[in-house]
Amino acid sequence: MNRIGIYYAYWTREWDADFHPYIDRVADLGFDVLEINAGTAARMTPAERRELRSHAADRGITLTYCIGLAPDCDIASPETQVAQRGEAFLNQISTAVGEMGGGKVGGILYGAWPMTLPAGDTDRRPYLERSISIMRRAARVAADHNVIFNLEVVNRFEQFLMNTCAEGIDYLNAVGAKNVRLLLDTFHMNIEEDFIEEAILRAGDHLGHFHIGENNRMPPGYGSIPWTRIAAALRKIGYTGDVVMEPFVQPGGQVGADIRVYRDLSAGLDLDSEARKALHFMRGVLK
């Protein structure tokens, strides 16, 4: 049975947050996993990280981590200092997560987010080559700290290096590290893949983490994503990893700005009730 989680930013408008209240919240709602901002965890003191790890363990919650690299930490950048800063930040994240017992770090770790191909450039290859070269080194540091990198394949409006599962697999093969895997997300697959189920089947053993959300960024059950067929594909490849919902429903703050939430999708809804409803819906689908 897959553990089911939720991203803390469903409830907040800012990326930096105190995660302790969300540990209690998701535990009370019945979730198994809380996904938090890897950058915030990396900037905590060792004592703060120990306290967070202990709190999660006491409530029976597994922590996973996610981030999109900022433009000044873009490991695909042609600017050497920027790329080096990104590598150092990935290593800082690995060290921090290692202090918390290791685990899964996902997101856009291979480049900046959001980011488009710079004006005048038509060839992604130099960006991919720089990213892959640094990712090989960063993966070795991550492995030393019992960290798995799950690289999130996202849509063309948010990143340009990998938009499909097939492109993600090509990147993994080029890196050649066992602890670098794929993160597929139903919201992004709904935009880019010809057939979502086929993309999951293609990912197979490369799939290390799975994000779920509707086509409209609402919690599962409020849109047109084919959940039954997705669940069947996950069962077919024997995926037993975590399934983390990533709804974004509130405008405002840095979260609303980065995710481009302009309509208040939360109006008239009780967020906790909707999260619980989505959890029960997905448990029924994935069983």
Q: How many CB atoms lie within 10 A of CB 92?
A: 16
**Catalytic site residue from 87, 192, 193, 246:** 246
Is residue 152 among the annotated active site residues?
A: yes
Q: Which long-range contacts (CB under 8 A, 24 or more apart) does 114-123 make?
A: 114/68, 114/157, 114/158, 114/159, 114/258, 115/71, 115/74, 115/158, 115/159, 115/160, 116/160, 117/160
185 within 8 A of 220, measured Cβ to Cβ: no
The helix/strand/coil state of 263 is coil
Give the integer Cα–Cα distance in Å for 99 and 116: 34
The helix/strand/coil state of 8 is helix
Is residue 129 among the annotated active site residues?
A: no
**Catalytic site residue from 35, 87, 152, 158:** 152
- What is the helix (H) or strand (E) element at residue 67, kind and residue range? strand 62-69
Q: Could you list the active site residues?
A: 152, 246
